[in-house]
């Protein structure tokens, strides 16, 4: 990460929150200094008052990001609208500006908005893209996670099961070929961290994070909760609430009734392999053994590899 990014991003979000009088309000000095919400090698997110600035990954280009931000601006009630229509460069990184929304409380799993997430996805999937957007980046990100696993943990006992599960997928799910659906608008990285209430703190739920937004297979957006359910990380009650709400809202990714797994199987296997690959990579980087959740993901990959070996048509 560029050493000057954090102070430059702080100045940018502060000036946006209080234009013309950085770090001041009409009543005097601003009482709310910038707070770091996320600070990773590929993403930094800062909040100042009601404004959020996000520095995107170093390899993302204006052609990748600008149409996605534009699409968000034209989908009110589904995606959080940006505060500025186009990204700007700060210390060589593309930065976007957004209003602050209240995130899901990780300490209150019973309040997880599964129905809201499913309904927003269904509405997104039913909405024609308001502008031309690139392909949804889900398969490409999964492929990147597996490539990192190969490079950083070739001898780890969890690596082989993940690679066997990955090998069961069709080429499109590994990012090697175009997706079979090139028209449906998808989020690309759905999890509960991608929802906020806006206006904060009690407004309606909206989807955030347009980095992976694009056209593709809508079942990919249901794949993470489906994979968690299959791995035992999501209860059947939560999964059925999510699925029922998606169907009730007319979501096209799965049949309106009956078994949804014919549509979900490939994306769910892909997300299981991606999540397990990231888990093993992180554990190796930290020099620690896999924890219980990480082991359950690797075990699920082992089952995928064994099941597909027993039934090559799957």
Place of tokens 């009734």: 257
Cis peptide before 7, with omega less than 30 degrees from 0? no
The closest alpha carbon to 91, from 12, 188, 36, belongs to 12
Q: What is the DSSP letter of 113?
A: -
Residue 254, SS3 per DSSP: coil
Residue 44 confidence (pLDDT) above 60? yes
Report the alpha-carbon distance of residue 136 to residue 149 in Å, rounded: 22
Q: Please work out, in degrees rounded to the nearest 5, the angle formed at the alpha carbon of residue 272 by the alpha carbons of 266 and 275.
A: 140
Distance CA 72, CA 51 (A): 16
In the chain, the N- to C-terminal Cα span, in Å, equals 42
Measured CA to CA, the distance from residue 287 to residue 276 in angstroms comes to 16
Task: Give the number of other Cβ atoms within 10 Å of residue 96's Cβ.
Answer: 24
Contact status, residue 118 vs residue 163, Cβ threshold 8 Å:
no
pLDDT at 26 over 50: no
CA angle 150–138–288, rounded 5-degree value: 40
Token couple for 8: 């430059």
Would you place residue 20 in the very low, low, confident or very high pLDDT band (cuts 50, 70, 90)?
low
Q: What is the pTM of this model?
A: 0.92
Asked if residue 58 lies in contact with residue 93, where contact means CB atoms within 8 angstroms, the answer is yes
139 pLDDT more than 80: yes
Provide the pLDDT for residue 25: 46
Question: What does pLDDT average to over the chain?
Answer: 93
Rounded to whole angstroms, the Cα distance separating 122 from 164 reads 32
Residues 6+ apart with CB under 8 A from 176: 143
Q: Mean pLDDT check: name the lowest of 105-119, 172-186, 246-260, 277-291.
A: 105-119
- Spell out the domains of the chain, with CATH numbers in brackets: 5-99 (3.30.200), 109-310 (3.90.1200.10)
Q: Which two tokens stand for residue 105?
A: 């409380």
């Amino acid at each position: 990460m560029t050493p000057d990014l954090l102070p430059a991003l702080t100045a940018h979000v502060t000036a946006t929150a209080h234009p013309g009088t950085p770090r001041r309000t009409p009543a005097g000095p601003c009482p709310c200094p910038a707070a770091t919400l996320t600070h990773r090698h590929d993403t930094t997110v800062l909040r100042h008052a009601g404004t959020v600035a996000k520095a995107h990954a170093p390899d993302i280009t204006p052609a990748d990001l600008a149409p996605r931000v534009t699409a968000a601006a034209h989908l009110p009630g589904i995606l959080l609208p940006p505060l500025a229509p186009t990204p700007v460069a700060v210390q060589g990184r593309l930065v976007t500006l957004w209003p602050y929304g209240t995130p899901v409380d990780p300490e209150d799993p019973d309040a997880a908005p599964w129905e809201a997430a499913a309904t927003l996805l269904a509405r997104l999937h039913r909405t024609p893209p308001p502008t031309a957007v690139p392909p949804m980046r889900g398969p490409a990100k999964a492929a990147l996670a597996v490539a990192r696993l190969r490079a950083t943990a070739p001898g780890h006992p969890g690596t082989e099961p993940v690679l066997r599960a990955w090998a069961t997928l069709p080429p499109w799910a590994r990012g090697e070929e175009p997706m079979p659906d090139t028209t449906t608008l998808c989020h690309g990285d759905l999890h509960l961290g991608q929802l906020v209430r806006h206006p904060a703190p009690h407004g309606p739920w909206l989807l955030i994070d347009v980095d992976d937004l694009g056209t593709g297979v809508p079942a990919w957006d249901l794949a993470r909760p489906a994979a968690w359910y299959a791995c035992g990380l999501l209860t059947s009650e939560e999964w059925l609430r999510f699925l029922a709400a998606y169907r009730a809202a007319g979501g096209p990714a799965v049949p309106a009734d009956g078994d949804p797994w014919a549509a979900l199987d490939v994306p769910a296997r892909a997300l299981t392999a991606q999540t397990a690959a990231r888990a093993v990579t992180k554990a190796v980087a930290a020099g620690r053994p896999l924890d219980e959740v990480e082991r359950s993901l690797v075990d699920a990959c082992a089952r995928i590899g064994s099941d597909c070996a027993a039934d090559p048509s799957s």
